[in-house]
Amino acid sequence: MEIIRYRRDVWGEEVILGVSWDLLWVVAVTALILLAAHAIFMAVLAKKKAKPSSEGPRIKRHDAIDRAFHWIMAGSVLVLILTGIAPIVGLRISWLNIHWIAGLVLTFVVIFHIIRAIFWQDFKAMLLGPSDFKEPFDEKIKPGKYSFEQKGMHWAMTVLVIAVIATGIILFLHINTPWWNRPAVENEATLGIFFLLHGTATLGLIAFTAIHIYFAVRPEKIFYTRSMVTGWISEAEMKENHDTNKWKPE
Amino acid sequence: MSSHDVMPDMGLYQPVTVEDAAGIARQFSTRGWLVGGGQDTYGWLKDRAKRPEVLIDLKGIESMRGIRETADGIEIGALVTLTELTTNSLITGRYSLLAEAAGRVASPQIRNVGTIAGNVAQDVRCWYYRRGLNCYRAGGNLCYADTPEGMNREHALFNASRCVAVTASDTGPALVALEAQMVIHNGSSERVVSAENFFVGPNIDITHTTVLRPGEILTAVRIPAKWANAEFYFEKVADRNVWDFALVSISAAMRVNNGVIEESRLVAGAVEATPRRLDRIEQAIRGKARNQQTADEVAALAIQGARPLNFNHFKMPLLENLVNRAVRGHA
């Protein structure tokens, strides 16, 4: 199995073409096995906890605008993944235009999110500090608004999404669009490196998207998904899962 | 890349049934190569631009030969040669459009061995791709033809998605005009695809020109009776009259009653990666007199949406003029 695909350029020199798509299957199978193992572990071995009630007073967790951002971003990432892997898995659809349009949507919502997170949201609530790393190993430590896993997922997705956007914009500049004609490629080797980075980041994005979706539908976490739809969690859910000294909702 | 005098070392299978051929094709998948007349194949192999492990020679399959009359038209075996298409009385009598198109393919020698399946399933013509460069169509990351210095006078006007090569088939546009059906066998089952949907552009699949998947074989072409004995027009413009690919071609089938066009199908060749159906023109001429005035009114519709490259702007007036001639009905 190859990791990187190479080709001969027009001068006969070996250049990078991109990441090997054999890795797509490795990522898919690995993610499936790990998530299945986790599901089995949770069903058989993990200590069962009583689920806190979703009734009673409601605590606002996400503003409508942040929920909208999340679902637009989720939709665009899924469209990007599906259209990106369509030609690799042999699905015959006219994918390229849909791909770059979804890419532009993702770019704009990410820029919006960065600005909003820095100037209007509690940016510190998402920062990972040394104390956060104790959280998974000590049941007594409860997180503030976001748990260690949520922060980890957020920052992993941040790095991967910025990587696919940055490399995607460079590749976008190399195709015909309504606004410009593609330029002549000066250096195939450099272009190949951007394809490699774009493909590698995509593989990471696929893995983390699978993990994110899995945890979003797990029974003990699904109230977070509900809050991403409705905006609230119950007071009981908050007290069970969060330290009210660290998170003081409006 | 230099051409070699000898064929590369590879395996050869010579099945005599479609089922066996499909089984072998499935077994070797992308490592196998189906060959009929071989007119598109041998250049690839001698240039070492494609390197299959085995050739699957279909010429021994009798069921893929012959032209038969059916309840609704005719069925042409995939191994029927282009010369046979030009001489068969069923074709020349009822579907002269196809006979004319087949008669303009390459040269008499090539038509004697080249098959209808090979003509429709042949790969695109592009200097760079055929030379073995690792362009988009070869699985690479860029196009050498669509560059400021690229040799692209033969290339696409429409629907170029990264790759700008065009279909080289002369019979493909005629078959789309005749609403032909392509019969595809995978060894255990058969599927039938309209000629219009048989060809795929680079936006759908940049490394293939047809819907054929590894392990599938085009076994026959069916032409419905709908367009039998209709009024046809075919014209191909190439740099040479013999042994050359079209710069632009036009295939038209029309039902005309008292000089009025009741229904038509117009299809252009060599302007994009697939035969290009000119449906705007078909709609515009419906119910109109088949004359010069109608032709002048609608011809410009043919080039709407064209996106010419550096050296193929000439194809736009060429296409417009061919459409004009097809609509009025004479050169």
| C-beta atoms of B133 and A10 within 8 A | yes
User: Under DSSP, is residue A90 helix (H, G, I), strand (E, B) or coil?
Assistant: coil
Tens-place pLDDT, residues B286-328: 999 999 999 999 999 999 999 999 999 999 999 999 999 999 9
Of B142, B148, B160, the CB nearest to A191: B142
Interface contact B211, partner A, CB < 8 A: yes
Distance CA A129, CA A70 (A): 24
Tell me the ipTM for this assembly.
0.88
Distance CA B40, CA B30 (A): 17
The answer as to whether A226 is a domain residue is: yes
Q: What pLDDT score does A125 carry?
A: 87
- The pairing of beta strand B11-13 with beta strand B54-57: parallel
Where does B42-99 show beta strands of DSSP type E? Answer: 54-57, 67-70, 73-77
Taking CA atoms, what residue in B is nearest to A90? Answer: B205
Distance CA B331, CA B325 (A): 5
Average pLDDT over residues B116-141: 95
Residue in B271, B280, B199 with CA at minimum distance from that of residue B237:
B271
Chain A residues within an 8 Å CB radius of B204: 92-94
| C-beta atoms of B142 and A185 within 8 A | yes
The answer as to whether A30 is a domain residue is: yes
Average pLDDT over residues B279-292: 98
Residues 261-320 of B with CB under 8 A from A: 307
Q: What pLDDT score does B2 carry?
A: 60
Average pLDDT over residues B9-18: 97
The answer as to whether A49 is a domain residue is: no
CA distances from B232 to A128, B172, B304 (A): 73, 15, 24
Chain A residues within an 8 Å CB radius of B147: 184-185
User: Under DSSP, is residue B62 helix (H, G, I), strand (E, B) or coil?
Assistant: helix
Q: What pLDDT score does B3 carry?
A: 61
What parts of chain A have a pLDDT lower than 70? none
Which two three-digit tokens encode residue A207?
A: 């893995």
| C-beta atoms of B141 and A9 within 8 A | no
* pLDDT of B217 higher than 90: yes
- Report the domain count for chain A: 1
Interface contact A195, partner B, CB < 8 A: yes
Tens-place pLDDT, residues B51-63: 999 999 999 999 9
Chain A residues within an 8 Å CB radius of B141: 17-18, 185, 188, 191-192, 195
Distance from CA of A9 to the nearest CA of B (A): 7
Most B CBs within 10 A among A19, A91, A182, hence the mutation to make, goes to A182
Distance from CA of A94 to the nearest CA of B (A): 5
| C-beta atoms of B162 and A192 within 8 A | no
The answer as to whether A147 is a domain residue is: yes
Q: What pLDDT score does B13 carry?
A: 98
The string of DSSP codes covering B109-163 is HHHHH-BHHHHHHPPPB-HHHHTT---GGGT-S--SSSSTT---TTS-SS--BSB
Taking CA atoms, what residue in B is nearest to A172? Answer: B162
B220 burial type by CB count under 10 A (0-12 exposed, 13-18 middle, 19+ buried): buried
Instruction: Say if CB B281 and CB B302 are below 8 A apart.
Output: yes
Which two three-digit tokens encode residue A85?
A: 């892997």
Average pLDDT over residues B233-243: 96
Average pLDDT over residues B170-189: 97
**End-to-end CA gap in chain B:** 41
Confidence of residue B1 (pLDDT cuts 50, 70, 90): low
The answer as to whether A63 is a domain residue is: no
Distance CA B181, CA A139 (A): 67
The answer as to whether A231 is a domain residue is: yes
The answer as to whether A215 is a domain residue is: yes
Residue-range definition of the domain harbouring residue A10:
4-42+122-241
Tens-place pLDDT, residues B185-208: 998 999 999 999 999 999 999 999
Q: What pLDDT score does B149 carry?
A: 87
Instruction: Say if CB B298 and CB B281 are below 8 A apart.
Output: yes
Residues across chain B:
331
Interface contact A174, partner B, CB < 8 A: yes
Instruction: Say if CB B272 and CB B319 are below 8 A apart.
Output: no
Taking CA atoms, what residue in B is nearest to A14? Answer: B134
The string of DSSP codes covering A29-51 is HHHHHHHHHHHHHHHHTSPP-PP
C-alpha neighbours within 13 Å on the C-beta side of residue B92 = 9
B242 burial type by CB count under 10 A (0-12 exposed, 13-18 middle, 19+ buried): exposed
| C-beta atoms of A184 and B205 within 8 A | no
Most A CBs within 10 A among B48, B129, B137, B142, hence the mutation to make, goes to B142
- The pairing of beta strand B32-35 with beta strand B54-57: parallel
How far does CA B194 lie from the centroid of its chain? Answer: 13
- Residue B325: in which H helix or E strand, if any? helix B315-328
The answer as to whether A104 is a domain residue is: no
How far does CA B151 lie from the centroid of its chain? Answer: 22
CA distances from B183 to A69, B78, B165, B275 (A): 48, 9, 26, 18
